[in-house]
A and B are shown apart, each in its own frame.
Chain A
Amino acid sequence: ILNVEQSPQSLHVQEGDSTNFTCSFPSSNFYALHWYRWETAKSPEALFVMTLNGDEKKKGRISATLNTKEGYSYLYIKGSQPEDSATYLCAPTGAQKLVFGQGTRLTINP
């Protein structure tokens, strides 16, 4: 079973500020790391799938980095907007299944 830790559990950020949060996972038996955004009353939506150590992916104002050797990934949001308010989930794949972390609940204050 993969132990996935996300920190912080919740975060309040002022609109326009940038922020980041962490996903930690066991570095052994690593296949890929997924990030999802889950807005209230919607279903989770895939942001990134990352596989290579040192990988960096970007989607608009959101980017993510991956360190498979030490077992962590960072998600960055630049210039936060109210629509960024959501729970951000990471999920490393072990053998085949995805095990999700508890998520970071992000609230953007206007």
Chain B
Amino acid sequence: GAGVSQSPSNKVTEKGKDVELRCDPISGHTALYWYRQSLGQGLEFLIYFQGNSAPDKSGLPSDRFSAERTGGSVSTLTIQRTQQEDSAVYLCASSFRARDTNSPLHFGNGTRLTVT
């Protein structure tokens, strides 16, 4: 079946512009996660959704970052007034449900964001 789909795969933007990253999870997966990997760093948690609710937004780096999920499916991560330090690979993952401790995460291929 279809896996987690992210778009675009690559995005180059000028400093100060807004960008939207999209994630389409596996059908039936109620939990959705956003992570990012900056150069030379590990996976940094940003936010997760259970259904359309985001119980934990603690990882969002600043108020320039926001995310939403509609219909319990597609999620968009928006970065306003991008800065060079926002350059990273943004990974989305989904799982059957967040409280199911046996559910592994299924990752998309990521969006590589470059802010010039």
Contacts and interface: CB of A to CB of B under 8 A. Distances in A.
Do the two chains bind? yes
Interface of A: 1, 31-32, 34, 36, 42-46, 49, 51, 89, 93, 95-103
A36 B93 CA distance: 13
B4 to A, nearest CB: 8
B105 A34 contact: yes
Given A89-B42, A101-B42, A43 B48 contact: no
Contacts, number: 59
A96 B109 contact: no
Interface of B: 4, 31, 33, 35, 41-43, 45, 48, 50, 55-56, 58, 91, 93, 98-99, 101-110
Main SS class of interface, A: loop
A100 B48 contact: no
Given A96-B48, A97-B56, A101-B42, A43 B33 contact: no
A96 B45 contact: no
